[in-house]
Amino acid sequence: MKRFSRILSATLLFVLLAPVASFAASADDALPGYGDSVVISRGDFIRAAVQVLEMENMSVDETIDLPYRRVARGLEKYIRIAHTKDALEAFRYDLLLAQDITRGDALRVLVNLSGKTTTTPASFKDVRIGSEEEYAVRVAIDQKWMEPIRNDLFGVRRKLTGREAILLLRKASGETMMPSTTNNTNGNSTTIKVNYTSQQRLMNLPKTQILESIWSMIEREFYYTDNIDVDEAAFGAAEGLVKSLGDKYTTFMRPVRAQQFQTQIKGEVTGIGAQVEYIDEIFTIISPIKGSPAEAAGLKPGDQVIKVDGVPLAGLSFMDAVDKVRGPKGSKVKLTIRRDGIELDFDVLRDIIRVPEDIITWQGDIAVVQITQFGRVTQEGLRPQMEEIVKKNPKGIVLDLRSNPGGLLSAANLVVSLFVPKGTPYVEVRSRKDQSLSLTTQEQVVPDSIPVVVLANEGSASASEIVAGALQDLDRATVVGAKTFGKGTVQQVLEFNDQSSLKMTIAEWFTPNGGKIDGIGVHPDIGISEIEGRDAPLLKALDLLR
């Protein structure tokens, strides 16, 4: 489940509701909805800077392919303009436009867009002398765009907030304030007047005018005004838009669910302790987490959850079904499971599940390395453990990926890197615009003289299949067990300003030799079933290594 990097977007509410100025927008109108402490994204700042500097109508060559990854159509015009002005050199190939922008990067964008120069010297301990960032800071001080946070510290790494961004853009554009035409009891209110036209759009959203008309009518005429909820309307529209794609791995997550998702990746989940997905519109257990209440209750990979506490899950969204299963620590949930055509009831005790990603044991002089998911624990802690294993000169290593549902691609890269030379192709990624082989990025730890056996089963999915397939294709390991799950698509998470997220399928991956995984899985070199009460695959792996 490669699901964990960021790309560009703006808050969907703005896409649906915010009109665009018919001439140069004010800083306030270019950054609608940003509160004082809300951090600005890179994409929103670049768009706003282009707008307030009156560069929207700048002529650019639209036939040239941009040298950046995945630029959303709604931002493409602004990115082209900024690229023409060399204003994006701070961000390199992957712009990560949904990522928060720093004060230093914002100044670099603005200085290049505006073309301002300076000879004013400046020195701060967080700004490297002679860098592009230093020059941008000097311009900002000379132009009185932004103040340092201390005499010796400018704060270039600090994230840019809404209040700072608006003030910065006002000063950079020379924006002047005009008295408000609205009545004010204290007589000192100020505002910027901007004329709007409904003919311009932030992006090519289907039926935009219909959506805006519907919302306008709701606000003016809908009788039950207490039922009007702006957030609910925006989230509902986002969920409907995503649901229309018909992809079970592409989901919109409201803020609370998005936070739960990130918490799981950090190695902790709340609930029964099972990895789940929708398969053929049925809520299905991919694998129980080792040592979890789900495993203790007897749940198995492939179990279909039909009801929760007697309530059918049919018709519910994936995350609504997840919420039904989750609950307070110590409470029980009754799951009605369909297994091999038979419905069974299981009582499961909910608990806080801390995922022990890497479990290392020894069978004589053979190290058994069990990885339960590819999260940050594996990414950050497995390499030093493997270095310690190698120091003991093992006769062989068993890499147990059974019932591992996947996780971070970067963690999969690290695991493959342990066994093969740096720069070895380990996965092929095919997207709409690109097809490329990804290479391992770290030095090999386990020498070729130490043989490796990978254990896999039907619960091994996504990142597990990347590792198993790579080591199999590269003739570095023998795969023992059962055919893997067959989850071969790549997801990315787009994080929005309100902390909601979109998990979206953006590519499909293949083994280094071009083997398709999605819907097929990795087939073992030696097929062997897990016999009740006897770990036959592990015993076979130990025999092979001895």
How far apart CA 114 and CA 143 sit, in angstroms, is 11
Compute φ and ψ for 70, nearest 5 degrees. 45, 75
Q: Choosing from 473, 500, 501, 503, which is the catalytic residue?
A: 473
Compute φ and ψ for 426, nearest 5 degrees. -125, -15
Is 529 an active-site residue?
no
* 174's tokens: 């020379």
> CA-CA distances (angstroms) from residue 339 to 284, 374, 530?
10, 28, 17
Residue 393 Rama label (left phi>0; alpha psi -120 to 50; beta)? left
**333: which strand partners?**
348
Residue 252, number of CB atoms within 10 A of its CB: 25
Is 332 an active-site residue?
no
Q: Choosing from 487, 500, 501, 503, which is the catalytic residue?
A: 487
How far apart CA 30 and CA 399 sit, in angstroms, is 52
How far apart CA 32 and CA 445 sit, in angstroms, is 51
Q: Are 396 and 366 in contact (CB under 8 A)?
A: yes
How far apart CA 239 and CA 84 sit, in angstroms, is 36
| Residue of 518, 522, 536, 539 lying closest to 474 (CA atoms) | 522
Is 462 an active-site residue?
yes
Spell out the residues 6+ positions from residue 399 whose beta carbon is closer than 8 angstroms to its own: 369, 371, 415, 452, 453, 454, 455, 467, 471, 477
Q: Choosing from 462, 464, 500, 501, which is the catalytic residue?
A: 462
* 287's tokens: 């694998």
How far apart CA 410 and CA 421 sit, in angstroms, is 16
Active site residues: 462, 473, 487
